[in-house]
Amino acid sequence: MIVIEFTSRQKQIIELVKENQPITSSKLAERLNVSRAAIRPDLSVLTMSGVLEAKTKMGYFYKSTAAVDMFKNIKVRDIKSKHVIVSEDTTVYDTIIRLFLEDTGTIYVENNGFLSGVVSRKDFIKIAFGNAEVKNMPIGMIMSRMPKIIYTTDDESILDAAEKIILQEIDSIPVVEVIKGTDGRQDLKVTGKISKTTLTKLLYELGKGTRVSNENG
């Protein structure tokens, strides 16, 4: 089992909340001598993991670690959803069509069967307006390439995956199988994705006491 350790600042926040609950984000930032914006990702991780609970007009409360243990034990493979993938030579126009037909926010790009890039709705908006070349331009020209791509694996916990999405401020991350070549090179085979929608569905299903289904998110 992968043991997840909170950062030193997240641990400080937990202790401050334990001692001063309820406490607002402004007070926490003041105690830590940082801005509210600086601790916003930490608070998101701690509330999503179940360590803290936020109540409107009151602030943050400390919760039992039972929820944290539950999220540590649920693996990415248990909730990953269907991904959409195209090859690098697919045109921007055809990829946009896939985006709408598949009703997804992110499309992954492959080269020789392995992950080579990621393109999001924001990327399409930037390139599509006023550009007459989208019908001929290959998607490889506008995608984000490795090593800038953040990803997860089947064995990682959903808490780890959620933290990556929150800290990177992205909508989804690909789930990959890491394949090691004889030359020491590592290639990534996309097997699914974890998105904000996937995580929201999981929280809902757990709250209702039912299993989350493996649907497109």
pLDDT one-digit tens code per residue, 148-181: 899 999 999 998 999 899 888 899 999 999 998 7
149 CB-near residues (< 8 Å, 6+ apart): 115, 117, 118, 174
Nearest to 43 by CA among 74, 70, 6: 6
Averaged pLDDT, 187-207: 88
Lowest-pLDDT range, 54-68, 93-107, 147-161? Answer: 54-68
pLDDT, position 79: 92
Nearest to 139 by CA among 100, 189, 181, 94: 94
Share of the chain above pLDDT 90, in %: 49
What is the rounded distance in angstroms from the CA atom of residue 172 to the CA atom of residue 46?
19
User: pLDDT, tens digit, for every residue of 14-51?
Assistant: 999 989 988 999 999 999 999 999 999 999 988 887 78
What is the rounded distance in angstroms from the CA atom of residue 51 to the CA atom of residue 62?
6
Hey, what's the torsion of the CAs at 169, 62, 17, 167, to 10 degrees?
-10
132 — pLDDT class (breaks 50, 70, 90): low
Angle between helices 8-20 and 36-48 (to 10 degrees): 80
